[in-house]
């Protein structure tokens, strides 16, 4: 797809300059928009903002979410597997329904639902990365049946691919720090949200 913008002297007044800048900005947004077939931005960059928000909300590393999306769908929001998993994080219909995902092909809906599911697996398996990834790929019942990583070639390869992309062997979430003043005027820094809510100024 080609774009041609021709500027003449008549269009170079101050007001017209603002119009041109606006059109160029709109064009830049369009070619980087996730659904645009003419996007020149890298696939990962398209979803950085959504992934960062989901990572903060659910306390997971954004790099891990990126790695799962890359392995699951290679950043294709319209991807559908032979088993029926769909979207960026390849959610099965039952999982999508459980986590309130109404449109699996909507990047934000899919990423937030998938990250919430990933958060639950992280809590269930006490941040054991291998078990979390095994459950994400093969299901919790398979992990329970084999009391560990299922001996499925696909699952074993999946774990290796995600970990290779992720570059770490553990799931380390970000700890949110809160600051407030106590009754004596001292600054208190804590990661305990309940203390913060109790003492913050209303």
User: Quick check: 163 and 148 in contact, CB under 8 A?
Assistant: no
User: Quick check: 158 and 71 in contact, CB under 8 A?
Assistant: yes
User: 126: which residues sit within 8 A by CB, 6+ positions away?
Assistant: none
Query: CA–CA distance from 138 to each of 22, 158, 159, 171 (Å)?
Result: 48, 10, 11, 19
Q: Which is catalytic among the residues 16, 45, 72, 154? A: 72
Query: CA–CA distance from 108 to each of 39, 97, 100, 101 (Å)?
Result: 18, 15, 12, 10
User: Quick check: 166 and 67 in contact, CB under 8 A?
Assistant: yes
Does the active-site annotation cover 72?
yes
User: Quick check: 182 and 196 in contact, CB under 8 A?
Assistant: no
Please report which helix (H) or strand (E) contains residue 178, including its range: strand 178-181
Q: Where are the alpha helices (DSSP H) in 59-192?
A: 62-73, 93-98, 107-124, 129-138, 140-146, 153-166
Residues classed as catalytic: 72
């Amino acid at each position: 797809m080609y774009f041609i913008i021709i500027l003449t002297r008549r269009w170079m007044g101050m007001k017209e300059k603002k119009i041109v800048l606006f059109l160029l900005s709109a064009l830049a947004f369009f070619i980087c928009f996730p659904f645009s077939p003419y996007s020149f931005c890298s696939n990962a960059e398209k979803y950085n903002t959504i992934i960062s928000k989901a990572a903060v909300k659910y306390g997971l590393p954004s790099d891990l979410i990126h790695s799962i999306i890359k392995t699951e769908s290679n950043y294709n929001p319209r991807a559908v597997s032979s088993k029926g998993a769909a979207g960026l994080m390849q959610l099965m219909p039952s999982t999508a329904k459980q986590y309130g995902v109404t449109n699996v092909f909507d990047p934000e809906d899919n990423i937030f639902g998938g990250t919430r599911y990933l958060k639950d697996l992280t809590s269930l398996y006490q941040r054991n990365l291998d078990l979390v990834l095994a459950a994400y790929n093969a299901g919790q019942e398979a992990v329970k049946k084999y009391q560990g990583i299922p001996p499925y070639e696909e699952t074993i390869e999946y774990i290796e691919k995600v970990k290779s992309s992720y570059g770490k062997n553990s799931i380390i979430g970000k700890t949110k720090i809160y600051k407030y003043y106590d009754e004596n005027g001292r600054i208190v820094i804590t990661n305990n949200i309940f203390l913060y809510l109790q003492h913050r100024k209303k």
